[in-house]
Amino acid sequence: MKKLNCTHFPSCSGCDLLDLEYEEELKEKWGYMINLFSKFQDVEVLPVLGSNPHSNYRHKLQLTFAPEQRKGSGIVLGLHTKRRDKILNQIECKIQDEALSETAWALRDWANDLGLTGYNHFKQRGFLRFLSLRKSYYYNTILIGLVTRDNSRIYENEIEDLLKKIYSSFKTKSLKEKISGIIQAVNSEPTNMVLNTQERYLLYGQEKMKDRISDIEFEVGLDTFVQVNPFQTEKLYEVASNYFNSSDSVLELYSGIGALSLLISRKARFVTGIEINPNSVQSAKRCAERNNRTNVKFLQGDAGNLIKLDSLSNHNSCLVDPPRSGLSYKITRVLSERKFNKLVYISCNPETLERDAVNLRREYKLVSITPVDLFPHTEHIENIAYFESR
């Protein structure tokens, strides 16, 4: 496979490894995982499951608006530089979905035509702050989130102009992408958190769109957690669910919108998902009902507390999918006390996975690690670690 060339590499923060051929990148990531887990005796680190395609795979974007440095020359839109000293005015990207990139560039042109201002983080002024885009892999719909500093409204005729500009920008007409919704989210706080707000206005269409993983249909909103690479998501979830069978009652911690719980429920006897975000739990319950799954339920609350409930004591297996920070001390302690027969750990951070594996090693044996490349051309690598009770 040939190397990918991009105007913005290597200064852009989006890619780290664009100068490597993809086969070489996979070898480097595999070697890194073997070295990181060399202290664990008899653990099998399987070869990395590569992504096909390995370009234009990102179905979620979060870009930043900023004023052009030359006074009065409009706004820029893109990612930070690696030095974090400015926002690149992107004209291409090799890892973003093409239709999402075209939507972003058309939206920048529209904003410049209207004379809208980009947000200056240091002076804390300017209107447009961030752009959040999501695309449904299965249905080819796009959800747009415009994050603004205040609640000044964008008029209906301006949205009509935006839609015309977006549709005329699509180079690949056969893809038939449709804009499912445009949402204005207000964020006046001096923070880099993109969707750090509850004040939202629906400017067009719907607030959520539908997508599918395998035969499971679910809802996606602007802040719903869904893996950004849909070409690898089903592969990741298939590997994880294959560890379970009809003798397993599975407790999933950090279950999100419940897509993986529902996939596991096809093989396991029963699945209980625990998630702290109430909106995600409601989405998961609707998802279970929509997909006619009766051997799965979802609970809202802190996993470290709910895992101790007597009503969940009959669960003999566990799956965890924590954030990059890994497992909290409380969760690690409870997992050791409960001592599940099987523990499947999906990790987006090899270093915190290694730390947690060390903390769990007295009660659990690390059997295998399956790296799955969800983020080609970056240093990130997703992993599925399988533990058995000692």
CB neighbour class for 117 (10 Å; exposed up to 12, middle 13-18, buried from 19):
middle
Q: Over the Cα atoms of the chain, what is R_g?
A: 22
φ, ψ of residue 330 to 5 degrees: the values are -65, -45
Q: Is 6 a catalytic residue?
A: no
At 144, phi and psi to the nearest 5? -115, 130
- Rounded-to-integer distance, Cα 376 and Cα 364, Å: 31
Eight-state DSSP code of residue 147: E
The helices-and-strands tally (H runs, E runs) of the chain is: 9, 16
- Between CA 384 and CA 43 the distance in angstroms is 13
Cβ of 193: how many Cβ atoms within 10 Å? 10
Q: How distant is the alpha carbon of residue 319 from its chain centre?
A: 18
Compute the distance between CA of residue 80 and CA of residue 347 in angstroms, rounded to an integer: 25
Cα gap 284→293, rounded to integer Å: 11
CA distance 13 to 15: 6
| Element containing residue 216 per DSSP (H, E) | strand 216-220
Whether 268 contacts 317, CB under 8 Å: yes
> What element of type H or E holds 130?
strand 128-135
**Residue tagged active-site, from 6, 15, 318, 348:** 348
Element (H, E) at 363: none
Active site residues: 348
